[in-house]
Amino acid sequence: MNDPYDVIIIGAGVVGCMVARALSRYQLRILLFEKEADIGMGASSANTAIVHAGYDPLPGTLKARMNVAANPMWDNLSGELNFPFERRGDYVVAIGPFELLKLDRLLDQGRRNGVPGMHLITGEEMRHREPNINPAVSGALWAPTGGLCDPFMVTVATAENAVQNGVQVLTSTAFMDFILDDHARIIGVKTTRGDFPCRWAVNAAGLYSDDVMHRAGVRPEFSITPRRGEYMVLDKAEITINNVLFPVPSEVSKGILVTASLHGNPLCGPTANDIPDKDDRATTSEGLEEIRQGALKMIPSLNLRHLIAMFSGLRANGNAPCETPGVEYNHDFIIEIPASPRGLVNLGGIESPGLTASPAIAQRVVELLKDAGEPLREKPGWDPIRPPRPRFCHLSREEQALLIARDPRYARVICRCELVTEGEIVAEINAPIPARTYDAIKRRTWLGTGRCLGGFDMPRVVEILAREQGISPLEVTKKGEGSGFLVRKTKLVEG
C-alpha cells in the first residue's frame, strides 16, 4: 500500500468538493474520489440552483443553521472561485385569499432563523415587479438575500481550486468498503480501483450516504428514500421572467417554481415524488403534467410548447431526527464524527438546502476535525482564487477579437445556439479536472443545451474529444462507460 492519505473524501458532489477545498487550506494529503466519469453528476447538477435565504427550514434544525450561516458566504465564494452567482432575491407568491395566510408563517419562521431583510408585499406590488404573474396574486413574501447560481459550475470551480491547492481527484472510482484496524479505527477505503490507506474518511456520497455509513456500522436505522424532482426548461427567446417565484410550500416540497436560470432560460419545477430506485433519473409524462399546471398557475401566459429540455434530480431524503431538544423533525442533515469507528466524518441526508449550505457544512467539518484533536496547520501559499476561463459569448467584440488573436480556435463556433467555440471546448478538456465526456463538456460550456439540443454540435464535439485525448471517436462517451455514441465504422459487416 502507498503512503496513507490524511483525508479521503467519498463522493464529489458540491458537498465533497466544498469539504476538499476547505481542507486544502491545511497541510494535509487529500484524495477526493467519485464513482461517475465526472464530478458533480448527482444532485449537484440537477437541482433548482437557488441559494436559499433560509426561511424554509424549521427553526432549530441543522438545516436552518447551516442554511443561514452559508447564505452570506456566497458573494465571496463566487468572487474567489469565479462561478456565476446572482443575488436576485426571491418571492413566495400567494395566489388567491387562502394562500396569503401561509406567508405570515413563513415570514415568522424566517425571522426566527435569522434571515435578514424579509417583508411582505401586496399583490399589486407583485404584479408591478413581475408583469407576467397570475393576476390573481394576493401578496408575496420578499426575501432579498435569496440567490441563484450555476450549481454544476460551483462544484467544478470548487474542485478545481482544491486541485490547485494539492488535492488529488479520481473519477470512475467507486467506494466499496472501509478498512478497519483491530481498534475500530478506519485505516483505509476499498474502491473499484484498489485500496487507499487513510487516517480520515469523509462520507459525502449524497444519495448513497446511508449505504456508506452502514458499511462502517453507523446509524443502521438511517435510510434515504430518493425523492425525485422533475423540471422543464423553456426556450430563452419566448418569455422573460425577471424573478425567482416560489408558490407557497406544501408539506413535502417547496412546490413548482418558475424562474429564469442564469443562462436565461425559463425553468419550471421541481415535482416531489418518492421512488424506490436511486438510479432512476427518468422524467415522466405525469411529472411534466404536474409541472405544467404549477407553472401556469404562477405565469398563465407561459407557453410550454417552447420546451427545450426536461431533466430530473433525486433528493437525498433521509430520516435523521433533529438533535435539538424540543424540535420535532425527522429529515435533518447529519454532520458528525461518530464515536465509533474512529476516523469517519459522516455527512448524510444532505437534501435541499444542501447546495446553499455546502460551504457552511465544509466549515463545520473543519471545526469537527479540530475538536477531534486533528492539528490543522495552515498551508503557506494556499490560493483561494480559481482563475476563470474565457466564455466567448460573454465577451465584448473587442475582447473576442483579442482572444481570437491569441488562439484562433476561439473563432470556430461549434455550438451555434449557445455560441460555444472550439477554444472553450479544448480548454475544458485540458482543465485541472479534465472534461472527458460529452456531458462533461456540455455541463461546463452549456453547449448543446439550446434549441437544437446538440444536433449540430454533437458530431463535432465527438471529433474534438477524440482528437484531444488521442482516442478513436468510437471510444468517446456521453457520460462514461457504456454510453458510447458510435458503434463501428461504416462499410464493415458485423463480425
Ligand X SMILES: Cc1cc2nc3c(=O)[nH]c(=O)nc-3n(C[C@H](O)[C@H](O)[C@H](O)COP(=O)(O)OP(=O)(O)OC[C@H]3O[C@@H](n4cnc5c(N)ncnc54)[C@H](O)[C@@H]3O)c2cc1C
CB of 325 to ligand X, least distance (A): 26
Rounded-to-integer distance, Cα 347 and Cα 213, Å: 9
Q: Which is nearer to other proteins, 76 or 240 (CB)?
A: 240
* Site membership for ligand X, residue 353 (CB under 6 A): yes
Contact by Cβ (8 Å): 32, 168: yes
Rounded-to-integer distance, Cα 259 and Cα 267, Å: 5
DSSP state of 39: T
Within 90-119, the residues that bind other proteins by CB under 8 A are none
Rounded-to-integer distance, Cα 16 and Cα 32, Å: 7
Q: Which is nearer to other proteins, 100 or 452 (CB)?
A: 452
Among this protein's residues, is 128 annotated catalytic? Answer: no
Q: How many angstroms from the chain centroid is the CA of residue 189?
A: 25
206 binds, among ligand X, other proteins, none (CB under 5 to 8 A by kind): ligand X
Considering 52, 119, 128, 263, which one is annotated as catalytic? 52
Q: Where are the alpha helices (DSSP H) in 392-434?
A: 397-406, 422-429
Give the angle 319-325-327 at the CA atoms, nearest 5°.
55
Count of CA atoms in the C-beta half-sphere (13 A) of 41: 21
Interface pick for ligand X out of 7, 30, 50, 435 (rule CB under 6 A) = 50
* Site membership for ligand X, residue 290 (CB under 6 A): no
Q: Which is nearer to other proteins, 128 or 451 (CB)?
A: 451
* Site membership for other proteins, residue 282 (CB under 8 A): yes
CB of 41 to other proteins, least distance (A): 11
Q: Determine the residue type at 453.
A: L
Rounded-to-integer distance, Cα 464 and Cα 53, Å: 41
DSSP for 378-393 reads BPTT---PPPP---GG
Residues 235-274, one symbol each (x = binds other proteins by CB under 8 A, - = not), give --x-------------------------------------
25 binds, among other proteins, ligand X, none (CB under 5 to 8 A by kind): none
145 binds, among other proteins, ligand X, none (CB under 5 to 8 A by kind): none
First to last CA, the chain: 43
Rounded-to-integer distance, Cα 384 and Cα 161, Å: 7
**Number of residues this chain uses to bind other proteins (CB under 8 A):** 57
CB of 415 to ligand X, least distance (A): 12
354 binds, among other proteins, ligand X, none (CB under 5 to 8 A by kind): ligand X
Contact by Cβ (8 Å): 263, 233: no
Residues 166-205, one symbol each (x = binds ligand X by CB under 6 A, - = not), give --------xx----------------------------xx
431 binds, among ligand X, other proteins, none (CB under 5 to 8 A by kind): none
Element holding 246 (H helix, E strand):
strand 245-247
Q: Which residues contact 114 (CB under 8 A, 6 or more apart)?
A: 54, 68
250 binds, among ligand X, other proteins, none (CB under 5 to 8 A by kind): none
Residue 56 has which C-alpha cell?
Answer: 424554509
**Number of residues this chain uses to bind ligand X (CB under 6 A):** 39
* Site membership for other proteins, residue 471 (CB under 8 A): no
CB of 94 to ligand X, least distance (A): 20
CA neighbor of 43 nearest in space, from 478, 476, 438, 358: 358
Contact by Cβ (8 Å): 155, 39: yes
Residue 153 has which C-alpha cell?
Answer: 459550475
Q: What are phi and psi of 403, to 5 degrees?
A: -65, -45
Q: Which is nearer to other proteins, 56 or 418 (CB)?
A: 418
488 binds, among ligand X, other proteins, none (CB under 5 to 8 A by kind): other proteins
CB of 444 to ligand X, least distance (A): 16
* Site membership for other proteins, residue 20 (CB under 8 A): no
Active centre residues (catalytic): 52
Chain residues binding ligand X by CB under 6 A are 10-16, 33-36, 41-44, 47-50, 52, 174-175, 204-208, 229, 270, 313-315, 350-356
